Amino acid sequence: MAKTYRIGTRTSPLALKQVEEILLALRRIYPDFHPVRNLVLPGSTHDISNGVKARIIGIDTCGDEDKITPISEMEGTDFFTREIDKALLGGEIDFAVHSAKDLPDMLREGLIIVAQTRPIDPYDALISKNSLKLAELPYRARIGTSSVRRKTQLSRYRKDFIIVDIRGNIEERLEKIESDNLDAIVIAACALVRLGLEDRITERLPFEILKPHPLQGALAIVARVGDSGLHSLLLTIDSREAVVS
């Protein structure tokens, strides 16, 4: 009988693409690897290898439902993981896939980061009206972003910028350029790459202007402490030099 692991994830298009990335990474370790061809959607089941399957469990978090609270007030908390953590500790799922930078500063007791992937495209990306680069934006340009890090560094680069707090998934943030009358937004380039929206990038901002979060572009897999069989499977795709389990 095939073993089926239940993968917990947020339900945004980006979160599902991140799960697809993990499934592909797991399947590459087997000689009979072939790409995932059917869509990764909540409720869907996918082969990892002979005798091992994965079922996708979509979970809406407070961070998905609350689109008013500024991200700057929730950085370092479990704003985007709380409900998934509860499902994991309650045995409703077997492991969870997260953007590594969305994890809280301290995981709940009983949980562990089993694997972390290498970052892809760690730059912050500017998406602007009329394809203007950061240095070309008009005086007192309105720029939408979310994190304190980006707000601080953008204001340091040009004090005339008006920084506007924005929330929502990637597609919703892109729409805010028009709906909120913004001159530009700044979001993670890796998110646009994963969603096939790389052509929307006006400019990848140099690190000397915007230094990214150290985990930007990396994915993290969280599981329960002590599940050694599952840990052995997931450790095959871990990119860290040393893992304490």
Triad 180, 183, 186: Cα angle to 5°: 90
85 is catalytic: no
Residue 201's closest CA among 211, 213, 190? Answer: 190
What is the enclosing helix (H) or strand (E) of 192? helix 189-194
Contact 115/95 with Cβ under 8 angstroms?
no
Catalytic residue among 78, 85, 94, 102: 102
Phi-psi category of 40—alpha, beta or left, where left has phi over 0 and alpha has psi -120 to 50?
Answer: beta
* 191/195 Cα distance (integer angstroms): 6
User: Which active-site residues does the annotation give?
Assistant: 102
